[in-house]
Structure 1
Amino acid sequence: MRARAVVMALLVVIVAVTACGLRPASSFVPPIEPGSIRPIPSLEGVKVRVTSKEFTEQLVLGKIAVVALTAAGADVTDQTNVQGSVNARTSLTRGDADLMWEYTGTGWITYLGQTEAIPDAEKQYEAVRDLDLRENGIVWLPPAPLNNSYSMGATRATAEKYGLKTISDMTKIPVAQRTFCVDHETFGRDDGFLGMLKGYGLEYGKDVPRNNVRRMSTGVLYNAIAAGQCALGMITTTDGRIDALNLVLLEDDKHFFPQYNAAVTIRSQVAEAHPEIARIFAPISAKLTDDVIRKLNAQVDVDGDVPVLVARDWLRSEGFVR
């Protein structure tokens, strides 16, 4: 606990320095020793730029990558916490970053422009892996079991009041009370809110009045649902705040949402030059289930912990580092 307090104090100092424009807080890596991840001579001093999106799960996954690669001896540049999926992805395809965790469904629908999701997780992975490599030179490593998909969430009281068990049940709510909280990015995506309404046979502006939809940041979305600011909210299934706020997830009974298994994606030039990177992440990915990542997310969003420390502590608990 004392060592952790020292690290937290150091982070505060780094944040203060950042305000003066001298050093990005995101670059901090806590002290680690090799565990099952041993220094790899062929990676010694190799520069690897790791990026991520800005939401909690992406930050945790990004920091896991930073810590793991550092333990293996790479010279890691931490470029995590990029605002917006497209911006983070563009940094990879443009060559400004080398590696990031991505989701199979996001790759398939948002980046590769496909309109039909593939319900089978393995087939979805294989399809996005093959097409993205062919079109963009991006290598997808085998995915983790965690599936950060979307669903509609409600308070337990709202679910019981209207008898909500599936997403189709949202039509049980009278139109005037059929209100939604949705984050800004997800609102207009084909695999997001407007796409979901269409997939479930509802017309935006008629079955769901425009004034019934509140768009907000993911940082306040879950608390807004819990506080009753909307009847339903579009949330991700691995978010740690679901259990903490006692929210109910509705079943995607029409199987609209794609599989969103998380996988490490790498520029092909880097993956081909350093195949050892795939061997580093294989056992890490295998350990990342829905339950595991939900608990790690909760440590940040509910307990107020720091993503890089959450990542480091989990890697320690699994013996990857010490």
Structure 2
Amino acid sequence: MRTNKLLLTIAALLLLVAAAASAGGTAEVTREGPTITVASKAWTEQLILGNMLLEILRAEGYPVEDRTGLGESDVIRPALHAGQVDMYWEYTGTTLLTLMEHDPVGDPDEAFDLVKAWDEETNNVTWLDYAPANNTYVIMMRQEDADQLGLETISDLADYINQNPEAISFGTNDEFYERQDGIRGLEELYGFEFDPDGVRFMTTGLTYGALREGQVDAAVGFGTDGRIPAFDFVTLEDDKQYFPVYNPAPVVRMEVVQAYPELSDLIEEISALLDGETLAGLNQRVDIDEEEPEDVALAFLREQGLIEF
């Protein structure tokens, strides 16, 4: 009996060692300097992005502390300013509209320049290069339908609806439909109107299922949602830049950048790889395929040749 228990204990320890060896977070700390505390918000995309930072820093020998899943901006920001958090991914539109109380901006470069200058001057915080992915509002359609109708942009959709006023049913939540910076403003800028009898009101999270099941022909969603590629949807290009941009970018305390001057180039290699299609695909692996965010992040860095172990 004792022999069996001993064998089981040894087997369990070997499994733990093997698991640790195959997982991230085991690289030796070789850099001298302050520990870098990495935070993130608590939802899929943010957990993936936060773990990318953790894993590439670990692989390069930086001392790191994991605070991913800490909370939303109203939790992370005070911690960042107090020096309890050193780095996290934020969205340009979130800072611009919520923290700066600035008017919406549809140009990604303009939005980035505004938030970077404001944070450096006000909070001793800097922004590294933003990712091309844009997690803003989007108008989605089923790929097959959009291809059949020849619709690639919101202008295309507007022209089609003006010629066929009752042809397109639309799924949205009621608040966003009525807001001047929501669908009403979109209709005004593009010069069309969804048929009021064809609008179906639901929470934003349900628009994906309604579109997939054919209950509506178009719907509002978010640009990097994993259900877009999973359900074979297409997002119509916002060719008049109506919706504010929400590009994710690493936000870092200036003290950390000064302590590790080479850090920016390292992390910006990740940003450059994250276009909308790529980030939506990574989100899909977690939300649809049920992989763990940290596993998806580590696998992506390995696939891109950014880390080797």
Give the Å deviation of 1:114: 1.3
> What is the CA–CA distance in structure 2 between the aligned matches of 1:278 and 1:160, rounded to whole Å?
41
Q: 1:249/1:216 Cα in 2 relative to 1: closer, same or farther (>3 Å)?
A: closer
Aligned partner of 1:3 in structure 2 is none
Aligned partner of 1:313 in structure 2 is 299
The structure with more radius of gyration: 2
Aligned partner of 2:8 in structure 1 is none
SS at match of 2:202: strand
Q: Which runs of structure 2 are paired with 1:135-214 in the superposition (5 Å)?
A: 135-156=122-143, 165-167=152-154, 169=157, 172=161, 178-182=169-173, 195-201=181-187, 212-214=200-202
- Of residues 79, 86, 89, the one that matches 1:101 is 89
> What is the CA–CA distance in structure 1 between the aligned matches of 2:263 and 2:138, rounded to whole Å?
33
2:154·2:239 contact (CA, 8 Å) conserved in 1? yes
Stretch moving more, 152-161 or 91-100: 152-161
1:42 aligns with 2:32: yes
Q: Which runs of structure 2 are paired with 1:250-289 in the superposition (5 Å)?
A: 250-289=236-275
Q: TM-score, normalised by structure 1?
A: 0.71
Amino acid in the other structure paired with 2:32: S
Q: 1:163/1:58 Cα in 2 relative to 1: closer, same or farther (>3 Å)?
A: same
Q: TM-score, normalised by structure 2?
A: 0.73
> What is the CA–CA distance in structure 2 between the aligned matches of 1:259 and 1:315, rounded to whole Å?
25
> What is the CA–CA distance in structure 1 between the aligned matches of 2:272 and 2:143, rounded to whole Å?
33
Q: 1:176/1:316 Cα in 2 relative to 1: closer, same or farther (>3 Å)?
A: closer
SS at match of 2:118: helix
1:30 aligns with 2:23: yes
> What is the CA–CA distance in structure 1 between the aligned matches of 2:70 and 2:297, rounded to whole Å?
18
1:131 aligns with 2:118: yes
- Structure 2 unpaired stretches of 5+: 1-14, 189-193
- Of residues 49, 59, 70, the one that matches 1:61 is 49
Give the Å deviation of 1:51: 1.7
> What is the CA–CA distance in structure 1 between the aligned matches of 2:70 and 2:166, rounded to whole Å?
37
1:300·1:306 contact (CA, 8 Å) conserved in 2? yes
- Structure 1 unpaired stretches of 5+: 1-5, 12-28
Q: 1:303/1:116 Cα in 2 relative to 1: closer, same or farther (>3 Å)?
A: closer
Q: 1:208/1:113 Cα in 2 relative to 1: closer, same or farther (>3 Å)?
A: farther
1:196·1:256 contact (CA, 8 Å) conserved in 2? no
Aligned partner of 1:249 in structure 2 is 235
Give the Å deviation of 1:126: 2.0
1:238·1:291 contact (CA, 8 Å) conserved in 2? yes
Amino acid in the other structure paired with 2:283: N
Aligned partner of 2:100 in structure 1 is 112
Give the Å deviation of 1:55: 2.9
> What is the CA–CA distance in structure 2 between the aligned matches of 1:207 and 1:88, rounded to whole Å?
42
Aligned partner of 1:15 in structure 2 is none
Give the Å deviation of 1:140: 0.3
After superposition, what is the alpha-carbon deviation per residue over 1:200-237, rounded to whole angstroms, capped at 9, x for unaligned? 246xxx9869x9432254xx553343234555432232
Give the Å deviation of 1:307: 0.7
1:295 aligns with 2:281: yes
Percent of aligned pairs with the same amino acid: 31
> What is the CA–CA distance in structure 2 between the aligned matches of 1:309 and 1:290, rounded to whole Å?
20
After superposition, what is the alpha-carbon deviation per residue over 1:68-90, rounded to whole angstroms, capped at 9, x for unaligned? 22223344332222454544445
